[in-house]
Amino acid sequence: MTLPVAAGPIGIFDSGYGGLTILHGIRQMLPEYDYLYLGDNARAPYGPRSFDVVYEFTRQAVLKLFEMGCHLVILGCNTASAKALRSIQQHDLPEWDARRRVLGIIRPTAEVIGSLTQSRHVGVLATEGTIKSQSYDLEIRKLHPDIQVSGVACPFWVPLVEYHEADGPGADYFVKKRIDEIMRKDPEIDALVLGCTHYPLLMPKIVKYLPSGVRIIPQGEYVADSLRQYLERHPEIDARCSHGGTARYLTTENPATFKEQAQIFLHEDINVEHVELE
């Protein structure tokens, strides 16, 4: 397999729109790089899909980004990070090009969580697929064996965001229900990980119903800082990332629809291109 060798953009992949919050956080911290965002909106959501299907879809997306010049791809999707990252790193990269890299967004959060909790009780709110994978539990306990992790799936939170209901009164019921559930599960939780990239857009409701003293941990800033440190540690990867300060957006769905929805996450006007995955 022949892949481009010239410096290229940093790829950001998500099953849909939520990864735009990751891209936004990264661009805030590292604006000098070029970025290529790919949303597999035609096949979203990934959360309820099996491990095998998520792996295959994610594999196709990563390969497409490599073919378009990326040497480094961030899986800006918790479900893809949970269900596909390790297989791609271990089985696909050696076959495609061992010099390229694919990183996820779960480990950066797990790395910093030890400094963000005093009670050593942490909650995770995420999609059904991410919770069932227990990826946060495994990563956090691997790095911080003393931390107790409790997770709750929030199946209606993503539609609330994508159907522009995040600020509406209907969101209160679903947000309160899941927060009450996780606090009943472990009342000692003092740090709550938002393990889905859509969830920061529900922040006003989450703050409204979360007990005082519980710290909310969105992923964007931690993923961005982890990427910054990664590029500093790996100058050979940094040298393969182009520095033009640009961002391109690709979707497997209708570009006009993506452009409209993206404004919820980015608050800016963007150009969007259609792409096929296979």
Angle ∠(105,107,111) on CA atoms, nearest 5: 125
Q: In degrees rounded to 5, what are phi and psi of residue 99? A: -85, -10
**Residue 116 CA: distances (Å) to CA of 16, 138, 206, 215:** 29, 18, 18, 8
Active site residue 154: no
From the list 70, 77, 154, 241, the catalytic residue is: 77
Active site residue 77: yes
From the list 70, 154, 196, 241, the catalytic residue is: 196
Q: Is 183 helix (H, G, I), strand (E, B) or coil?
A: helix
Contacts 24+ apart (CB under 8 A), 85-89: 85/58, 87/55, 87/59, 88/55, 88/58, 88/59, 88/62
DSSP run (H or E) holding 185: helix 170-185
Catalytic (active-site) positions: 77, 196
